[in-house]
Structure 1
Amino acid sequence: MPTVVIDPGHGGQDPGTVGNGYQESMLVLQTSLLLRDALRRCGFRVVMTRESNTLPLPSGSIAEDLAYRAQLANNNNADLFVAWHVDSATSSDVNGVAVWIHPSTRGTRTEQWAQTLVNGIAAATGQKNRGVYLGDFQVLRETAADAVLVESGFITNQQEANNLANTNFQVREAEGAAQAICTLFNVPYNQLPAPRPDTPAPTPPTPTPPSPVQEQWPAWAQESIQHMIDWGIMVGFPDGTWKPNQLVTRAEMAVALEKLYAFIRQGGAS
């Protein structure tokens, strides 16, 4: 059977993008584990880059961690690499699901597979289908197999963020993706068994509430700080504070600059 490597983005000290009381790293992990289970149910060999809220390579830099994820896929002779993320935008109106591929794979089987995948997820969830985008992401560039990156929705859209945190919606995204992947490899899709009548419906996970911590930001910097948070470049500390007067370490600056570079490569806020 084919080998699929699933890569839930970010993790641990790297929460990814944040919005509406949620962190990307947790949302993508929950759905990725459901996708893992769905694909294994259909007979695939599935390798996860992480199965808990930690970085796959916690001792390395972000770039080293991303390289490790790609190498894990290469070492396992993956037939398909699926990175799972959620997106953000400066406008809270933006919503929908998209799949990204490396520019070098435009017009190839990878692009066709990406289109099938985004079509499957959108059909299963009723989300806006944003189609296929090109991006020079490290995990896509360094993975030898067909590699795609799913942006499963926008955390900055209140309704979509709530959906992304809802167990039933996560199941629909995962099953839609699994059914599409089965189509790619001509593997029969084994439907999720219906719950027994006496089995209670799963309880959606409790959202991470916005931090109750209130801190004063300098008036002249408030808009810029909010942009850094909205764009996922500098999201603050786990306790919900931003500590605007605290000195920045070289390690923190390296992570921020890398995120800024990736943000610009994706088109920035335009």
Structure 2
Amino acid sequence: MPLVVIDPGHGGRDPGTSGNGYQEKTLVLSTAIMLRDALRRCGVNVLMTRETDTLPLPSGTIGQDLAYRADLANRNNADLFVSWHIDSAANATVSGVAVWIYPATRGTRTETWAQRISDGIAANTGQRNRGVYLGDFQVLRETEMDAVLVEAGFITNAQEANNLANTEFQRAQAEGAARAICDLFDLPYVAPVRPDPTPRPTTPPPATEQPPAQNRPEEWPDWAEDAIRSMIEWGVMTGYPDGSWRPDQNVTRAELAVALTRFYNFIRGGNGGV
């Protein structure tokens, strides 16, 4: 299986760019970890330059840290190096995803791969696809394999910044990139298994003609009797174990949680008209 090195940009004392209340180092780490998980799910070997909020080489200069990231990929004979970043611009309306490559790799397989990764992310998120750009970035210059630097969007664009901080949007970017990378290596993309967000309908207990034995109708206020009987019939509130209802007693947060859950299950079962 191919080895892909994923490099979440910046980290620790180097926050990267910032805007609209967000820092690049935090946002890129979340998405890069999702990309790691997506590729591993597809059987790809993945090596991360960092998995926490720290520089990979915290004791060195920023230049030494960047060299360390490239050397990590070189020493492990990686097949692809993906550095994940977020861009900024003086114009707050600029948006979109782009992938950068080292100028000397223009016209090579690296450029083709960069375009396909940009296409994959944009197709999965609906972002503007800015395509491939050339840049003399150290992590691109010093890596010995195909190397790309993803600029996942613009933190200076308020809407895009909020998207980049959204978990589902991050996942969409990661899955779009993972699908493209799998295609580069002729590997099948394995989609994530999502839990069914719709709870299974729960059949409410059968209604009864009379209140259960534990009810003591003499406790019930006349104006609330019909409502209490409905709660009992629907299985939402059935009284206390000693047989009492205690209609004047304050409800606890735990009791309310149970009642609301029962009512939710009841209406999801198709009997509540919702």
- Report the TM-score when normalising by structure 1: 0.73
Consecutive aligned runs of 4 or more in structure 1 exceeding 6 Å deviation:
none
1:156 is the counterpart of 2:125: no
Distance 1:75 1:191 in 2: 31
TM-fit CA distance, 1:195: 1.8
Give the equivalent residue in structure 2 for 1:132: 132
1:77 is the counterpart of 2:65: no
Q: What is the number of equivalent residue pairs in this alignment?
A: 199
After superposition, what is the alpha-carbon deviation per residue over 1:90-136, rounded to whole angstroms, capped at 9, x for unaligned? 01000000000000000000000000000000000000000000000
Distance 2:68 2:194 in 1: 38
Amino acid at match of 2:120: G
1:56 is the counterpart of 2:71: no
Distance 1:178 1:155 in 2: 22
Query: Which structure 1 segments of 5+ residues have no match?
Result: 200-270
Higher-Rg member (1/2)? 2
TM-fit CA distance, 1:172: 0.2
- Report the TM-score when normalising by structure 2: 0.72
SS in 2 for 1:33: helix
Distance 2:196 2:122 in 1: 27
RCO greater where, 1 or 2, for CA within 8 Å and sep 6 or more? 1
TM-fit CA distance, 1:198: 6.0
After superposition, what is the alpha-carbon deviation per residue over 1:18-64, rounded to whole angstroms, capped at 9, x for unaligned? 00000000000000000000000000100000000000000000000
TM-fit CA distance, 1:145: 0.7
SS in 1 for 2:56: coil
The alignment's C-alpha RMSD in Å is: 0.8
SS in 1 for 2:163: helix
Distance 2:175 2:18 in 1: 25
Distance 1:197 1:29 in 2: 27
After superposition, what is the alpha-carbon deviation per residue over 1:197-230, rounded to whole angstroms, capped at 9, x for unaligned? 368xxxxxxxxxxxxxxxxxxxxxxxxxxxxxxx
Distance 2:76 2:193 in 1: 30
SS in 2 for 1:131: strand
Distance 2:2 2:22 in 1: 33
Give the equivalent residue in structure 2 for 1:117: 117
SS in 1 for 2:148: strand
SS in 1 for 2:84: strand
1:86 is the counterpart of 2:86: yes
TM-fit CA distance, 1:196: 3.1
Give the equivalent residue in structure 1 for 2:196: 196
